[in-house]
A and B are shown apart, each in its own frame.
Chain A
Amino acid sequence: MIRLSLEIGQTQKPEAILFYILAPLSVLAALGMLIVRKAVHSALLLAWVMITLAIFYIALDAAFLGIVQIVVYTGAVMMLFLFILMLVGVDAPDSLTENIKGHRATAIVAALGFGGLLISLIGRATLNHVSVGLAMANEPGNVQGLASLIFTQYVFPFEVISALLITAALGAMVLAHSQKSAGARLSQRALSSVRFRGDSLANAAGLPSSGVFARHNAVDVPALLPDGTPAKNSISGVLTARGDVQDSTQYALGSLPKVDDESGDK
């Protein structure tokens, strides 16, 4: 740790400033990923980590990779994550209580040990190394340098990777293909016989609509039943799962104004 702080002191000025501002932010964002309860928030934090990494890439004379990082990762991949989250992840936010005994403590101990050893080893390995820098290699331009390597020395891995990409695309199609969409849907007649000839007629007339009569008509406010209790089935399941349902009792009338008994006789 002492050595680490010493070395941090040696960092060149503009890049050093960039690093000291962005590196803690990215670590914080990464830690945040572990703590936040909603997956969407994790995704946004990850996107932030990726953007800082892209900036670091550019600072490390890897302009092409920096751009690719933004376009591919923060653009495409994170978009995919968010899309899948919208598709399947919109249920109750993760409970952060651990249900495997001793799991979290063990994990943290292992991670601390692992990280500590890693950092110690990196320090030991880089102690006497002087950075060569990429000025020579990037002389024709970073993209040109990469291209000349990819299409000469690495052309075979490159081809294999492309084959892998195609295979993955096909695999995703096969995996995500839903048999259900091919199956027969219930006919109108069958649906109505389920609705009216089932065990109960509770749903025969349709679900109640949300909102409290004349007071609040938003979709996140459950309707009030005649006995004053909120009707759960007047709210979309997604909203219930997200916990975005408001309490409708606040819109209920506290009590009806007393009606004079004799008023009718008047």
Chain B
Amino acid sequence: MTSNNLVYLIALPLFSSGFLMMLGRRADKWGHIFATLISASAFGIGAFEFLQMLARPSESRAVTQKLFSWISVGTFQVDASLLLDQLSISFVLLITGVGTLIHIYSIAYMSHDLDRRRFFAFLNFFIAAMLLLVLGDSYLNLYVGWEGVGLASYLLIGFWNQKPEYATAAKKAFIANRVGDVGLSLAIMIAFATFGTVSFAGVEEKVSGASTAALTGIGLMLLLAATGKSAQFPLQSWLGDAMAGPTPVSALIHAATMVTAGVYLITRSNFIFDNAPTAQLCVVIIGAITLMFGALIGTAKDDIKKALAASTMSQIGYMILATGLGPVGYAFAIMHLLTHGFFKAGMFLGAGSVMHGMDDEVNMRKYGGLGKLMPITAITFGLGYLAIIGVPPFAGFYSKDKIIETAFNSEGIKGLFIGGAALLGALVTAFYMTRVIILTFTGAKRWDEKAHPHESPFLMWGPMAILAIGSVASGFLLSSGNRFVSWLAPVVNSHEVEHAERFQPVVVTTMALVAVLIGVAIAIAKYRSDVPRVAPTNVNIFTKIARRDLLQDDFNEAVLMRPGQALTNFLVATDERAIDGAVRTVGAVVIGSSKGIRKTQNGFVRSYALLILFGAFALLATIWVVTL
């Protein structure tokens, strides 16, 4: 099947982005409306394609569109082609849907910013790049979108680059992402060397003939790419600082869509990971580490956005974990991704709403008791909260519970470890999210005299309300009757494999709920009493470490930055002394010898003519001697 509409999905926001950037200040008055309409129309196209897809039978739901022949070198052919299948459309709807809501939200949120038009141009650019990422039909096309979202993320994190630390945060995110991007490019190169093609379909077709070593190499490189983009261990450190960007950006890019690109990449490459058990095991380990890592950081953060960012890292850890579990896990990973897209975006918007009312104060210790003054924000945030900690029947329950269950049921001792990690993660998640709720919306008010908390305008709470509805209902809608699993089945090749189930689903669910209850209870017990406005410093070593993001930056600085600086200093010194020295020596020798030789040049043209005459004389003499 082919479709001619796919290109408009990307072209519309891309055009709008360029248009708004080129028009400059002339578009200030209406640029945000225009961008929002464009985003909404992209959603319209996506929905239209979705409905058409629904009408087709399961096997022929994928549609493609060839745009042009991009690279044609000998036998190496890459077309700029788009592929819309069940996996892509899930992302397309998430990106354009949540994206449009966040556009609407930003109209109000950014209304006082002089550069609102530029912000919207960047947002549209992000939408276009992200759509290209999920619509590309080959790794190379995906790579273009991958770099595009990286650029958009950089531009938006550093949107207020007049503050040096924000600009630094943008650079940090960009560099950490580059490390992952190297992984992706290496994966593409290995894939080309192994298969001679880089299209998803082509690789899938030839994957059975490839060696396990090559597949493992590709898989590990893809995992590296995923850790970079999705802020997974060990490249996770940028996400917390990325909160420097405006809150809608955090909601759209650093919670709902871009950071989940790694999950998409691994799911899309299921045919590689399914044939490379080592790589798959690494995926699971990375996911498990990151979900605990993020959760632990989340317990110690007083900055509401950073707490949510840590939570995002942790939740993506769940998704990565699920993708590592093989065919049974992909659908749950994507399902959790979608539900997470709703509730985390909703919570970020809620956080933005709180900040909007509190003069951009982010320290939760200076909130307290905001529930009464911001009822709508409190309710939407609360619904997201219930969803993320996994209380039935909210969205997160369905998706996270399935992941925990699948983790427990994977083979061998591995299952116990990762299942235990996932369960513990759920407990910690319940703890820190409850902490956020308590510190922000309940208890005594601790804010400054100057602050006048107030509810946000309709343009802001409208999108929050819609996302809250999503975080309530999406889980049930997706999982009832195994709907989403069978929807994705043609893409991820999940055939019903009956595992020897270690635990019955009801047992796992009960354990998860108990863990959540414990977490909530600890949090209530700890934060029921008064909370100091300034974080106490006489805390134990573990809290201190968690506050320092589990030493991630210290580690990076000690292991990467300092040796790098030392190496750079050494190279600079080498360059200045050895290389420049050599060059200068050569120059000095040339100058010195020139000074000597220059004396033979008297500048009189007749002397040069005389030399020519002598030359002719010498030439003739040679001829004379030779012909003698």
Q: Does A touch B (CB under 8 Å) in the complex?
A: yes
Alpha-carbon distance A118/B617, docked complex (angstroms): 9
Known contacts A100-B602, A114-B616; is-contact A106 B610 (Cβ 8 Å): yes
Is the beta-carbon distance between B606 and A124 smaller than 8 angstroms? no
Find chain A residues with CB under 8 A from B606 CB: 100, 103
Q: Nearest-CB distance from A120 to chain B (Å)?
A: 7
Instruction: Say if the beta carbon of A111 comes within 8 Å of chain B.
Output: yes
Q: Nearest-CB distance from A74 to chain B (Å)?
A: 26
Find chain B residues with CB under 8 A from A117 CB: 617, 620-621, 624
Is the beta-carbon distance between A100 and B617 smaller than 8 angstroms? no
Is the beta-carbon distance between B627 and A110 smaller than 8 angstroms? no
Among candidates A100, A106, A114, residue contacting B620 with C-beta atoms closer than 8 Å: A114
Is the beta-carbon distance between B607 and A100 smaller than 8 angstroms? yes
Alpha-carbon distance A120/B607, docked complex (angstroms): 26
Alpha-carbon distance A140/B108, docked complex (angstroms): 102
Find chain A residues with CB under 8 A from B613 CB: 107, 110-111, 114
Is the beta-carbon distance between B624 and A103 smaller than 8 angstroms? no
Alpha-carbon distance A110/B627, docked complex (angstroms): 21
Instruction: Say if the beta carbon of B70 comes within 8 Å of chain A.
Output: no
Q: Is the interface of B mostly helix, strand, loop or mixed?
A: helix
> Looking across the interface, which residue of chain B has its beta carbon closest to that of A106?
B610
Instruction: Say if the beta carbon of A243 comes within 8 Å of chain B.
Output: no
**Binary CB contact string for chain B from 585 to 628 against chain A (1 if under 8 A, 0 otherwise):** 00000000000000000101011001001101100110110010
Among candidates B604, B621, B623, B624, residue contacting A100 with C-beta atoms closer than 8 Å: B604
Q: Nearest-CB distance from B611 to chain A (Å)?
A: 9
Instruction: Say if the beta carbon of A113 comes within 8 Å of chain B.
Output: yes
Give residues of chain A (99-150) contacting chain B, Cβ–Cβ below 8 Å: 100, 103, 106-107, 110-111, 113-114, 117-118, 120-121, 124
> Looking across the interface, which residue of chain B has its beta carbon closest to that of A111?
B613
Find chain B residues with CB under 8 A from A121 CB: 620, 623-624, 627
Number of A-B contacts (CB under 8 A): 32
Interface residues on B, range: 10 to 19
Alpha-carbon distance A107/B604, docked complex (angstroms): 14
> Looking across the interface, which residue of chain A has its beta carbon closest to that of B627?
A124
Is the beta-carbon distance between A120 and B610 smaller than 8 angstroms? no
Q: Is the interface of A mostly helix, strand, loop or mixed?
A: helix
> Looking across the interface, which residue of chain A has its beta carbon closest to that of B617?
A114
Is the beta-carbon distance between B610 and A107 smaller than 8 angstroms? yes
Among candidates A106, A107, A120, residue contacting B624 with C-beta atoms closer than 8 Å: A120
**Binary CB contact string for chain B from 467 to 480 against chain A (1 if under 8 A, 0 otherwise):** 00000000000000
Alpha-carbon distance A111/B613, docked complex (angstroms): 7
> Looking across the interface, which residue of chain A has its beta carbon closest to that of B610?
A107
Q: Nearest-CB distance from A265 to chain B (Å)?
A: 74
Find chain A residues with CB under 8 A from B616 CB: 114
Find chain A residues with CB under 8 A from B614 CB: 110
Alpha-carbon distance A106/B613, docked complex (angstroms): 10
Alpha-carbon distance A100/B607, docked complex (angstroms): 8
> Looking across the interface, which residue of chain B has its beta carbon closest to that of A118?
B620
Among candidates B607, B617, B623, B627, residue contacting A103 with C-beta atoms closer than 8 Å: B607
Q: Nearest-CB distance from B532 to chain A (Å)?
A: 86
Is the beta-carbon distance between B610 and A113 smaller than 8 angstroms? no
Q: Nearest-CB distance from B614 to chain A (Å)?
A: 5
Find chain A residues with CB under 8 A from B620 CB: 114, 117-118, 121
> Looking across the interface, which residue of chain A has its beta carbon closest to that of B609?
A107
Alpha-carbon distance A55/B352, docked complex (angstroms): 107
Find chain B residues with CB under 8 A from A124 CB: 627
Give residues of chain A (33-57) contacting chain B, Cβ–Cβ below 8 Å: none
Is the beta-carbon distance between A113 and B621 smaller than 8 angstroms? yes
Find chain B residues with CB under 8 A from A120 CB: 624
Alpha-carbon distance A124/B616, docked complex (angstroms): 18
Alpha-carbon distance A86/B613, docked complex (angstroms): 31
Q: Nearest-CB distance from A123 to chain B (Å)?
A: 11
> Looking across the interface, which residue of chain B has its beta carbon closest to that of A114?
B617
Q: Nearest-CB distance from B619 to chain A (Å)?
A: 9
Alpha-carbon distance A100/B623, docked complex (angstroms): 31
Q: Nearest-CB distance from A266 to chain B (Å)?
A: 74
Alpha-carbon distance A108/B275, docked complex (angstroms): 92
> Looking across the interface, which residue of chain A has its beta carbon closest to that of B625?
A117
Is the beta-carbon distance between A110 and B617 smaller than 8 angstroms? yes
> Looking across the interface, which residue of chain A has its beta carbon closest to that of B628?
A124
Known contacts A121-B627, A124-B627; is-contact A103 B610 (Cβ 8 Å): yes
What 15 additional pairs, Cβ within 8 angstroms, besides A113-B621, A121-B623?
A100-B602, A100-B604, A100-B606, A100-B607, A103-B606, A103-B607, A106-B610, A107-B610, A110-B610, A110-B613, A111-B613, A117-B617, A120-B624, A121-B620, A121-B624
Closest 10 pairs between A and B when the two form their complex, measured CB to CB? A117-B620, A114-B617, A110-B613, A113-B617, A110-B614, A117-B624, A110-B617, A107-B610, A100-B604, A117-B621
